[in-house]
Amino acid sequence: MGENVGTTRKNIVIGVGGGIAAYKVGSVVRHFTEAGHHVRVIPTESALKFVGAATFEALSGNPVSTEVFADVPRVPHVRLGQEADLVLIAPATADLMARAASGRADDLLTSTLLTARCPVLFVPAMHTEMWEHPATQANVSTLREHGATVMTPASGRLTGVDTGAGRLPDPQEISLLGELLLDRPDALPYDLAGVKFLISAGGTREPLDPVRYLGNRSSGKQGYALARAAAQRGAQVTMVAGATSNLPDPAGVEIIRIATAAQLADEIGKRAPETDVVIMAAAVADFRPVQVSDAKIKKSDSGPAPIELTTNPDILAGLVAARRSGSVPRSTAIVGFAAETGDLQHGVLDHGRAKLARKGCDLLVVNAVGEGKAFGMDHNTGWILAAGGEETALPLGSKTLMATRILDAINAVRTDGVGAEGRCP
């Protein structure tokens, strides 16, 4: 679960559909049980052909049943849904989503779905043709209209030799979104459909020689959380990613890998003119070596030779300038990040305000950094500063939760048409 953040015990129902990806769901069950939650697994009959009941009973510590007539005195087909704080369905097969969308109650899982009044998260997994079929897409729309969250599936290797959209997202990503809905049930409205996002994430690395580089402590977790949340809210997301901490690729996100600040600037510059929202969450190196050695720099008795540095381009300021010149549309929202430390004269927020004034972006997310703060952590805190002077505190919470708050602020900027100089009419 990351840092020492208190966890309230919740009742979680994990429904398992009859797909080959059912074997991955054990990791999701383990995640929530190890976090201290009470987990009940409800498989379909078909799911038990892939993974036996004993596996889910051992991982959850609770009995497993598919029938509404099991434990009749407790009326489980009603109680399980009524008492749940989260219902998570993975894999959500085409058949299971069709039954759920039409309100069927022909087994314990679909009956539980009808009585649940908590957040419901469907995690689809099926072959591409099944996912793209108009009937499945209509069922997905119906489930969303009924208030459920339906994840965008990942793309990749399916069963057999097939590849494409329809792969079950990484279990870690599923667990993160489940945690998010426990923290904030309304965190993933499908309100960004068709909006094009360009997000940078991770740290850049400026080479000294074939072995060494100048870098920073960024893990990429906040940028990945933003990409994940935006994609699940319907956005078309492209992420330009530098060095990260072996994070799973967010489902439904196009990822472009880069290493240096110059490469990042090039990719952002090419894609920004066709983007509705640009979020610069990457930790970009301010400096790079003037010269890069072709061979590993050797130790010397006289000590290390001085390393001459030069300044990297200011990508965020360049984006704002491009918008003012018209090469990036005036309607494009630009969001920056500031990782700051206080000093004897000024606090973190003071430095953030000054940076917002210099950069001229619409929103600036300010984080205090240091030992045990922000970089590499699963949780974060900070402020959102708006060009119009509004300041919103971000209380301590998961980086995925913070991402949803940032997306809300971006939506407000886009809806109200209030932004930095160059966007206002």
DSSP 374: S
Per the annotation, where are the binding residues for CTP? 286, 296, 313-316, 337, 355, 359
Nearest residue to 57 via CA among 44, 43, 72, 78: 43
| Catalytic hit among 216, 312, 367, 380 | 216
Nearest residue to 140 via CA among 227, 225, 228, 234: 234
CB atoms within 10 A of CB 147: 13
411 is catalytic: no
Tokens of 166: 């329809």
- Tell me the C-alpha distance between 367 and 374, whole Å: 7
- Tell me the C-alpha distance between 306 and 124, whole Å: 55
CB burial class (10 A; 0-12, 13-18, 19+) of residue 313? middle
Nearest residue to 155 via CA among 189, 191, 127: 127
Tokens of 283: 């930790």
List, in order of start, the domains of the chain with CATH numbers: 10-181 (3.40.50.1950), 194-294+304-419 (3.40.50.10300)
The predicted pLDDT at position 159 comes to 79
- Tell me the C-alpha distance between 138 and 45, whole Å: 25
Phi, psi (5° rounding) for residue 350? -60, -45
Q: At what angle do helices 108-115 and 76-83 cross, to 10 degrees?
A: 50
- Tell me the C-alpha distance between 212 and 278, whole Å: 31
pTM (two decimals)? 0.89
H or E stretch covering 213? strand 213-214
Residue stretches of the chain with pLDDT short of 70: 1-7, 68-77, 342-344, 369-376, 417-425
The predicted pLDDT at position 345 comes to 76
Q: How would DSSP label each residue in 269-308?
A: HHHGGG-SEEEE-SB--SEEES---SSPPPP-TT-PPP--
329: helix, strand or coil = coil
The predicted pLDDT at position 308 comes to 94
Q: Give the torsion sign (CA, 405, 226, 360, 330).
A: negative
The predicted pLDDT at position 378 comes to 80
- Tell me the C-alpha distance between 113 and 145, whole Å: 15
> Is-contact 196 236, C-beta < 8 A?
yes
In sequence order, what are the residues at sequence separation of 6 or more whose Cβ sits closer than 8 angstroms to the Cβ of residue 281?
199, 200, 201, 222, 223, 226, 337, 365
The CA-atom distances, in angstroms, between 126 and each of 7, 16, 17, 168, 243 are 33, 13, 11, 8, 31
Buried b (16+ CB within 10 A) or exposed e, 21-46: bbebbbebbbbbbebebbbbbbbbeb
Nearest residue to 330 via CA among 365, 353, 359, 362: 362
The predicted pLDDT at position 73 comes to 47
Tokens of 80: 């399980």
